[in-house]
Amino acid sequence: MSERPATVPARATSEGPVAAPAARGPSLAARLLAGSSVFRRASAAGGEERAPGWNSLRQLVLGRILVASLALPSGLLLRPDVTSRPLALLALALGAVAGVSIAWTLGGRLARGLKLQTAAQLGVDLALVTWLAAYTGGRGSQFVLFYALVVITGGVLGRVGGGLLAAAGACAGFLALPALAAPLGGSEVAGDALVKPELMVTFLTIVGVLAGVLGERVQRTAGDLERTERELDRVKIDNDAILRHLATGVLTVDQDGTIGYLNPAAQQVLGVRAEELCGRPVEEALPARLEGLRALVMDSRQQGRGRARAELTVTSASGRTLPLGASTNVLRHEDQLTGVVAVFQDLTDVREMERRARRNETLAEVGALAAGIAHELRNGLKPISGSVEVLQRELKLEGETADLMDLIARESARLNKFVTDLLSYSRERDLALEPVKLDDHLRELVSTLRHDPRRAPGVQVEYRGCPGGPEDARLTVDSEQMRQVWLNLAANALEAIGERGTLTVSWCVRDEDQVAVEFRDDGPGIDADDLRRVGEPFFTTKRGGTGLGLAIALRIVERHGGGLTLESEAGRGTTARVTLPGLQVPLAQAA
């Protein structure tokens, strides 16, 4: 038998939970807040629910044993003159009742032939009553009143038809008592009848009809109750499943401030366990790191009104600052506060999306401005750089004059590179997507890096590929633009390593259709303050850097639907990880 906690009859929306109507009596939410309500359903051994009729037959067996245990001894001991051996008759009657009860119990476990078993039990009961009455005085026996019990049972179980059939059988048995006395071992001299036969027949018929009407009402009510119970069970299961699979955290407290329920999402977001919190006061159960949520719930309970779209900051179990968006609503029954429901959500991803949106908006404005500035700078740089080249060819400069001329040429080239990067950042080329064999693509890149003049002699470039992964994996990307991303990340790593160290290039499969490419160096790493700003346009820690290379790489990756992240710690190197979707593996290798 299972136990399931009741669920909150409140609708959680983006604006907060909406309380259920308060005019329907004690709600499921009230029982949920109490934290101890359970719902039990009787079921068969195989887990399937038994029909109500089998329960009625089981109750009939128990009732027969009870009546036999009380009425038989009383009837025989109070009138021992009806038979010469009352104790023997009592033992025989109780043994017969016990035997048929065992037989009906075993038959009920088979759960087959409900109507047949019902009719058989009533028929055997009539036979037992007839035998007992015939043995103890016929129509004058005190046990003829048992016919009424059998008729009532037939009407309750079989409605009007069953009641009339049971009444007919009882009447037939009653009328046949004088003739059955001798064959059944009774006295041949019948006693005076308790009632006249015609009155007894009328009585049993009326009892059969009335019991049948009562049986119809009872069974109709039982059917309605069964349907209502099944519907309630279904609603409970549905509500519980919804709360368990809801991505939003749900926490409830009762009118006394005791925590009644936390769904799995709430436990995950808050870093707590429901079994440790439920049943405890909210001010004691929630730790100090969740002070903001605790104060919100307690304030709503004390003031008797909810809060919509409150934003608060708590600390996760790992010590990370956690922004939460929370709403509370109070539950009422008959204008009395019964509890508070708090619905909350981790806003970390939302804040990150807002940051990216602001960044993209800023980048778009900077790009438009940069395009105009770069155009004007390039128009001025062309004649300057051209004039310097002509002067260097035609004049034989020496000493300080030659150095100054070289300086002008170098700075002109550097400024021209900056203008080129600025234009690349501000102008997005259309993606020329094509399937690229990733392993070959990266091997070619590593070969190029090993001959790159920026690589110091003491720097090693290693390629580890994807150990155990599919060698023929392909990505649908713009190969030229992605090569620009790889070269930019590799150039940053080579410059960070300096004179001696190792740059390792590898890739791995993620989530079946995603791939992650990593550039790992053992350079000095990046300070935590600088790491948060890496990727912003014009931010750089390199001497002579433009601060646009990584920003360009990030934009290209995002246009491919991927992401670029940096993991670094001062003194322990840096890992640049690019995650891209669209991984394709040939069927032969996938199998």
Q: Across-strand partners of 314?
A: 322
Residue type at 251? L
Most confidently predicted of 149-153, 194-198, 420-424: 149-153
Residue burial 291-327, b: 16+ Cβ < 10 Å; e: rest? ebbbebbbebbeeeebbeebebebbeeeeeebebbbb
Question: CA 206, CA 194: separation in Å to the nearest integer?
Answer: 18
Residue burial 413-425, b: 16+ Cβ < 10 Å; e: rest? eebbebbebbbbb
Last residue of a domain, one of 373, 392, 426: 426
Question: CA 197, CA 203: separation in Å to the nearest integer?
Answer: 10
Q: What global pTM score does this model have?
A: 0.45
Question: Which two tokens mark 189?
Answer: 């001299």
pLDDT value for 503: 92
Mean pLDDT, range 213-238, rounded to an integer = 83
**55 pLDDT above the threshold of 80:** no
Count the helices and strands in the chain (H runs, E runs): 18, 15
Q: What is the CATH number of the domain that holds 310?
A: 3.30.450.20
Query: What is the length of the chain?
Result: 591
**34 pLDDT above the threshold of 70:** no
Same domain, 217 and 177: yes
Domain with 104, as residue range(s), is 52-222
What does the DSSP 8-state code read for residue 281?
B
**Distances 547 to 4, 91, 421, 488, 534 between C-alpha atoms, Å:** 59, 105, 10, 12, 9
Residue burial 119-153, b: 16+ Cβ < 10 Å; e: rest? bebbebbbebbbbbbbbbbbbbbbbbebbbbbbbb
DSSP readout, 117-147?
Answer: HHHHHHHHHHHHHHHHHHHTTGGG-GGGGHH
230 in a structural domain: no
39 in a structural domain: no
Last residue of a domain, one of 305, 323, 346: 346
Alpha helix segments (H runs only) across 339-398: 348-394
Question: Which two tokens mark 207?
Answer: 């009892």
pLDDT value for 185: 62
46 in a structural domain: no
Question: CA 229, CA 239: separation in Å to the nearest integer?
Answer: 15
Q: In sequence order, what are the residues at sequence separation of 6 or more whose Cβ sits closer than 8 angstroms to the Cβ of residue 384?
A: 408, 412
Q: What is the CATH number of the domain that holds 582?
A: 3.30.565.10
514 in a structural domain: yes
Please answer whether residues 426 and 368 qualify as being in contact, where contact means their C-beta atoms are separated by less than 8 angstroms. yes
Please answer whether residues 27 and 20 qualify as being in contact, where contact means their C-beta atoms are separated by less than 8 angstroms. yes
41 in a structural domain: no
Mean pLDDT, range 220-235, rounded to an integer = 83
Residue 131's closest CA among 121, 122, 141? 141
Same domain, 469 and 401: no
What does the DSSP 8-state code read for residue 575?
E
User: pLDDT (tens digit, 9 = 90+) per residue, 248-288?
Assistant: 999 999 988 999 989 999 999 999 999 999 999 998 999 99
Same domain, 463 and 494: yes
Q: 434 by DSSP, 3-state: which? A: strand
Same domain, 440 and 387: no
Please answer whether residues 305 and 299 qualify as being in contact, where contact means their C-beta atoms are separated by less than 8 angstroms. no
Which of residues 422 and 383 earns the better pLDDT score?
A: 383
Q: What is the Cα Rg of the chain in Å?
A: 45
Question: CA 182, CA 163: separation in Å to the nearest integer?
Answer: 29
Same domain, 515 and 585: yes
Looking up tokens 């991803």, which residue turns up?
349
> What is the side-by-side strand order in the sheet with 583-584?
434-437, 474-477, 583-584
Which of residues 425 and 162 earns the better pLDDT score?
A: 162
Same domain, 156 and 124: yes
Mean pLDDT, range 108-116, rounded to an integer = 80
pLDDT value for 202: 92
100 in a structural domain: yes
527 in a structural domain: yes
Looking up tokens 């890096």, which residue turns up?
449
**343 pLDDT above the threshold of 90:** yes
Question: CA 219, CA 341: separation in Å to the nearest integer?
Answer: 40
Question: CA 31, CA 236: separation in Å to the nearest integer?
Answer: 12
Same domain, 56 and 192: yes
How many domains is the chain built from? 4
Same domain, 124 and 197: yes
**43 pLDDT above the threshold of 50:** no
What does the DSSP 8-state code read for residue 538?
T
Same domain, 123 and 208: yes
Q: Across-strand partners of 506?
A: 465, 518
DSSP readout, 194-215?
Answer: SS-HHHHHHHHHHHHHHHHHHH
pLDDT value for 523: 87
> What is the side-by-side strand order in the sheet with 249-254?
259-262, 249-254, 336-346, 321-333, 310-315
Last residue of a domain, one of 279, 313, 346: 346
Mean pLDDT, range 383-388, rounded to an integer = 78
Q: Which long-range contacts (CB under 8 A, 24 or more apart) does 239-248 make?
A: 239/7, 239/8, 239/9, 239/28, 240/4, 240/5, 240/7, 242/7, 243/7, 243/8, 246/12, 247/345, 248/12, 248/343, 248/344, 248/345
**Distances 3 to 29, 40, 88, 237, 310 between C-alpha atoms, Å:** 16, 7, 49, 11, 35
Q: What is the CATH number of the domain that holds 357?
A: 1.10.287
Question: CA 330, CA 345: separation in Å to the nearest integer?
Answer: 18
5 in a structural domain: no
Q: In sequence order, what are the residues at sequence separation of 6 or more whose Cβ sits closer than 8 angstroms to the Cβ of residue 405?
A: 388, 391, 392, 397
Looking up tokens 């030659």, which residue turns up?
402
Containing 546, the helix (H) or strand (E) segment is none
User: pLDDT (tens digit, 9 = 90+) per residue, 163-210?
Assistant: 899 999 999 988 888 888 777 665 544 456 677 888 989 999 999 899
User: pLDDT (tens digit, 9 = 90+) per residue, 131-142?
Assistant: 888 888 788 888
Mean pLDDT, range 32-54, rounded to an integer = 43
Q: Are strands 321-333 and 434-437 parallel, antiparallel or unpaired?
A: unpaired
> What is the side-by-side strand order in the sheet with 563-568?
458-465, 500-510, 514-521, 574-581, 563-568
Beta strands in 144-287, from DSSP E residues, in sequence order: 249-254, 259-262
Same domain, 255 and 112: no
User: pLDDT (tens digit, 9 = 90+) per residue, 68-101?
Assistant: 778 777 766 666 665 656 677 777 778 888 888 8
Please answer whether residues 577 and 567 qualify as being in contact, where contact means their C-beta atoms are separated by less than 8 angstroms. yes
Same domain, 72 and 218: yes
**Distances 106 to 13, 54, 154, 395 between C-alpha atoms, Å:** 53, 12, 21, 120
Same domain, 206 and 276: no
